[in-house]
Structures are given as C-alpha cells and as structure tokens.
Amino acid sequence: MPAAATLPLFWSPDPKSSATDTYTGFRGTFTLTSAATVEFKLFGAAWFSGWVDGEWFCEGPARYPHAFPEYQTFTAKLAPGRHTLALLVNHIGISTRILEPINPFVSCEAVVNETAIPVAWKCMHFTAYASAVRRVNPQLGFIEWCDTRQLPDAWQSADFDDTAWHEPVAVTRPLGQLQPLAIANPRSIEHPLQPIGSGRLTETFGYERDDIPARFFLRDLAPAALPPQGSWRRYDLGRVRLMRPRFVLDLPAGTVVEFAYCEALVNGRVSPWITLSAGDSCNLDHYVARGGPQEFSPITPRGGRFLEVHIFAPEAQVKFLHEVVVERAYYGEAGGSLRTGDTLLDRIWSVGVETHRACAEDAITDNPTRERGQWAGDVVTVGMDIAATAFSDLRLCRRSLVHCAQCAREDGLVAGLCPGGAAYLTTYAAQWINACVHYWELTGDRNLLVEMLSHAERNLAAFAAQTTADGIKDELGWGFVDWGYVRNPGPSDMGVNLHYFAALQGMIRWCNELGLADRSTHFAEVAGTLQALIARYFANELTQGGDAWTRIGYHRAALGLRLGFFDAAQSSQGREFLRVHMLRCFPNNAASPRLSDPAANNPQLITPYFGHYAMPELIEHGGMDFVLDQYRTCWGWSLGDGRTTWLEVFDTRWSHCHQWAGCPTWQLSRYLLGLTPRFDRGALHYDLSLATGSLPAAQGTCPIPGRDEVIKISWMKSGDSIHYTLQAPIPLTLRLSAKLGGKTITVDRDYTAAWPVDDCM
C-alpha cells in the first residue's frame, strides 16, 4: 500500500460558506521559476471543479468513507511565471449516495519534482448561487440556481485581483489516514452536439419557483395563441451519460437559461423528473446571464441521454457559440470485442459494454441519473464480469469490494451500498465473499484476500449470529434476491440461504488458499449444516407431488442447480422448468404480468439481472441456442424505441441505464470466445471451453487484466469440425475442458486447434 500522506485542510472563515448547499471560490497562486510539471494533490469534503489559469482542469473528490480518505493527483505542464489554481466548491451538507456529510474543507498541495511549492490561497463565498432551491432527488444533491451577474468576472484567471478576498483558515476534521486514490482519475470526454429539435417557447405556469420541473415541462414549445418569450433546443447525446453541458452563449444581460436532462423523452419532450426516486425530483439547472459571450455549465455532473435548453430572450439576440457535453467516465474505448455475424447479438454485446461505461466513474454505480450509488450488487455479480470482458483495468471493482468492507455494520455485515447512504443486504453481503474470490481469479491479486480476511470473517460471523435451525433470520438485513422475487413460505428465505451457502463455499476456498486449515474446516462444518437444511427444503417440495418446480420457483431453482443440490434427473427437470418459466414471462409472453414497479412481485417474472445466474446453467448443458434466442427476444425487446443502454428490468418505467442488466455481454464473450481467466492458478492462466450453439463463426478480443494488450480469437465451423485460432501478445497457459481434451498446455503466442462441433455446442 502506498505511503500515507498528510495534507493541510483549510476552509473559508465566512460562516455562510458552511451552510447547506453553498458555493465558495478558492484561488491558489504560485510562481514557477522555470517550466515544470506540477502535481496537484487535491482532496475535499464536497464536490469541486478546478481551473488552471482560467482553463478547466479537474473535478472531484472521488467518493470515500471518512475513516479511509483518498486524495487525487492531477498534473499540469506550466511555463515559468505566476499561475493560479481556482476551485469552485459546492458544500452540500447533506447525505447523498456519494458521500456522507462532514464539516467542509479543501486540501491541496502543489508539488514539483517531489518538493512542495508554496501556494497563497484566497477564498470568497459566492452569493450568486441560491442555496437549497430544490434537490435533484433524495439520493443526490441540489440543482444549481445561479445569477451569474453576481459572480466576479473571470475570477478563475491568473490576473484576477483577489486582494479583497479572505484568507482561508486551517481546520481539522474527523478523518482517517489519507492515502492516494487507488484507481485512475475518471476521464473528462467532450462530445460535440447538434440539436435534434428547436423552436420558440412561451411560459404557461406559475411563479419562477412554484414547481420548477413542472414549469419547465409545461412550457408551450410551439406557441400560437400566446407571443413567444424565448427559444429552445433539444439534443440527443447518443446514450445515457453522466455529463455536464458546456455551452458558450452570447446573450443579453438578465437572460434566463435552463438546462434539463432525462433518460427518455416523454411525448417527445425532455421530462425533468427522475423515476423511482422515492421523493420529489428536479433534473435541471437554472442560470441568469451577465450579458455577452459567456460559458454556462454546472459544476456537478448530471445524468441523462437527452438535453433541452430553454433561453428567455428574443431569438434574434441569442447566439450559440459552442455546444458540447463533457462526460465523466472511468473507461475509454473497450479492449474487448465480439463479432458473431448476427447483427442483433453483436449489438446486444456492445450495449452491455456501453451501459457499463455509462455506470463507471469513481465507482461502478447502479445508474448515472437517479443515484450514482455504489451498490455492491452492481459489482459482486454482473459488473465484475462485464468489466473483465471489456477492459483490462479492474481496479474499480477492487475499490468497491474494499469500500463494502470499510463501511461494514457494527456486527460485521459488509455494506450493500456505500459510502453514502449506507444500506445492508444479506444477499449482497454473501455475494461479496465470492466476488473477492472471483477478483482473485480474474487478476491474480491474492493480496485482496489477505487484506479482506478479517472483514470476511466478521461478515460471516454476522450471518452465524442470525442463523437458526430453520436458516437465516429475515432480521439480518434486506434479503434482496431479485426484483419481482416471491419469497417461499416459512421462517427463512431459501433464496437468501442459497446465497449464504455459496458464500461459505467461497470462504472455504479463501481459507485454503491462505493456508488456514482450521478456519476452512470450521466453514465446511457450517456449510454442511446449511446444505442439509436446504436439501431438506428441496426434497420436501419434490416429494409433495403436484407442480413442485413452480413451488420452488425460478430463482431458487436456478440457484439450487448452480450449487449442485439436485441429482441428474432432477437437474434435467429443473433446467426444463427454467426454460418453460422464461417462455411464460414477459417479454417472451406479451400477456404475462409486468414488473411495473418495485412492489409488483409476481412468480411469473424474469429480469435481466438474474440471467447472470440462470443462463450459465442452460448454456453449460447444451442450451446455448435457447439462450441466444432469449437474448434476441428479451434483450432485443429492451432495445426497442431506439434505446442504447439497458433498462433496469424488462419494463420501460424503470431506469434506462443499468449495467447489471448486461449479462449477455460477459456470457457471449466467455462461452463463444472460450476463455475464462484463472489467474488464481498463476499469471496468464486461462480455462478454455466452448459453447457455440448453432452459430457458424465468431471472432473477438479478450483484454488481459492489468495489461494494455488483448488476446485475439476466431473460429469457424466446417463440416463436423470447428477450427479455432488464438493469438496472444505473450505466452499463455490454457487448461482445456474435458470435451476439448482435458490437457493443460502452454501457448507461445499462437495456437490453433480443431475439435468436433458436437463437443463445442
């Protein structure tokens, strides 16, 4: 682990700067005697944007638990002379999905050649921003409501006169030992815009702050009976993004400018409400122009695919000089790829990657619009495998696993949501165990198991403390198995118990790897008791007669099959039940129940998320063609109406950008290209097994974890044989499946083989 750092914390002496939802400007000036690359170590309690000599430069902070803070490092190549780092800090002062509130502070150190250089700081509370006008929603902070005429002109530039500003004061805060950020800084990617619609507008509703999003949505965008009061433009960003509009507009002084954002148009309009926010929402920002050419941009990123700007000035006096959005995203272009010759399957693969990119910033999040929340379920299941399929940098996954442990409950249960708005889910806590083991498999990072061992032990101790002869008590935490899931009758949820059993199996592997034989034996005994309990549940259902599999249900059947609870005949019946169940559910069956909202539980439902568990059971037992048809039908339905990121569930009334719905991406890559990383066995070790269905050919690339390189793979069927080619930039070790010969071989960059088609179906 890198050495800890000690950075000075400071804040404004003006008490108004510490109120809820306030904005404070900081200017740090310094002089260079020669050209140099300056490293700025930046850290804070709330969101900031930074400029060097008037040019936008950085944003942050990266989310962190207070006991485990991390600073970011940004670099700038600067000429000799006087320079200024300007920071605009929005102290939110309330809990959000991203951070828990703490008394405000900023921390910055400028370093040249490993030596700190003196920086003179000044600060000023900005009254131009109205405080706490409306929250974006209960999960996030506040909208921006700013009269830019009250902002000091060009205050970010090096030659601005800040002599009237205050000097910050040193502060202390209850923080743990400061460490450098364990991931790369998120990228800022600029996307030029072209409007997809424009026109004139007229106000139709209420006072300015009566109902801000309703006032925006109710404006007449094609006025006929009333005189126009301004103009509007609408933009399609291509997919849902976490972004900030950055517009340069030439406007009369006093012009009102509003940006609104949404994931999907409502009757052709941008709707500034966020679905399933569990409270009021307002996804827009409001500015008053100072006059003349001026940049308008919120400092806090917003989520959405569609952007609409409303401008209240005579159309002839409005000039658009620059229209872009700046996306906040961790990943650039994917290293992984897949081409099958099936246009829809290839698109489904790509949408999974793009949705994952949209949900990756300083964490893998559930959604860039509604929450930006780091839910464990988005990493410990689908997210980690999509990341490994598409990208070589898996540090976001590691950081999430560590955050879950750092934010554990007092009884040891690791967090299911953190660091802001912490929540605790039994299933996510169980899945966290196997996710740590899987990260080791994908990367070879055994140190994670060492670092997380005590957390894993305490996590499972929390389960043990809430276990009875009937299984896990519901009181342990939220037993989330899936949206729409219907719990079995009885004192304990067998879906939760199945996840707990899987965690115990993972913990046995964990302990064996670290040479902890006594702990492995202990967890094997606990697993044996739980296994007997679950087996009795399944046996009781199967011996009662009638429609036993329907009583067991889709979720418990899939998990039971995955964990080996059935004999061969029962397993065959169970997989047939999964197939029949899927075909009875929407989108396969248009007349079946719909998952209209989180409370619409029904046994006749499927979700894209649970395909992570159900589909491999079918693929690995000769069902690839059935699964490919499910991808085409169900995920193909999700792409209707021009959608370019995944719906959270198979219903349009939920989020329109949820990466955990993208299991086809990792499954298509793993089963069609054949490679599964097994770096737990050694560096560059892979399992090789194919399940191609009736596809005639495929090709693609697999990124190598931790390296900026890929493995190229292609295969083609000819007659009764499949011809497979692999090209690697470095030697690999492959362990072939039993059907492919069962050998372990070393591949020196190039490998070709031919196998019977029947062994690769």
Give the C-alpha separation, 311 to 216, whole Å.
11
Q: What mean pLDDT comes out for the span 230-235?
A: 98
Q: What mean pLDDT comes out for the span 106-111?
A: 97
* Contact between residue 17 and residue 82 where contact means Cβ atoms under 8 Å apart: no
Cis peptide before 419 (omega within 30 of 0): yes
Which pLDDT does position 545 carry in this prediction?
A: 87
Q: What mean pLDDT comes out for the span 288-302?
A: 98
Q: What is the pLDDT of residues 729-761, one digit of tens each?
A: 999 999 999 999 999 999 999 999 999 999 999
Which pLDDT does position 456 carry in this prediction?
A: 98
Give the C-alpha separation, 186 to 106, whole Å.
20
> What rounded mean pLDDT belongs to the chain?
97
Assign 103 a pLDDT band (cuts: 50, 70, 90).
very high
Which pLDDT does position 222 carry in this prediction?
A: 97
Q: How far is CA 359 from the centre of its chain?
A: 3
Q: What mean pLDDT comes out for the span 666-690?
A: 98
Which pLDDT does position 6 carry in this prediction?
A: 79
Residue 44 in this model has a pLDDT that exceeds 60: yes
Q: What mean pLDDT comes out for the span 107-113?
A: 96
Which pLDDT does position 215 carry in this prediction?
A: 98
List the one residue out of 246, 234, 231 whose CA is nearest residue 294. Answer: 246
Q: Where are the alpha helices (DSSP H) in 466-567?
A: 494-513, 517-543, 548-552, 554-562
Give the C-alpha separation, 297 to 144, whole Å.
10
Residue 253 in this model has a pLDDT that exceeds 60: yes
Which pLDDT does position 5 carry in this prediction?
A: 65
**Percentage, residues of the chain above pLDDT 90:** 99
Which pLDDT does position 208 carry in this prediction?
A: 94
* Contact between residue 680 and residue 668 where contact means Cβ atoms under 8 Å apart: no
Assign 4 a pLDDT band (cuts: 50, 70, 90).
low
Q: What is the pLDDT of residues 685-707, one digit of tens each?
A: 999 999 999 999 999 999 999 99
Q: What mean pLDDT comes out for the span 356-370?
A: 98
Give the C-alpha separation, 259 to 245, whole Å.
8
Domains identified in the chain and CATH numbers: 9-127+151-185 (2.60.120.260), 189-329 (2.60.120.260), 337-673 (1.50.10.10), 676-760 (2.60.420)
Residue 631, amino acid: Y
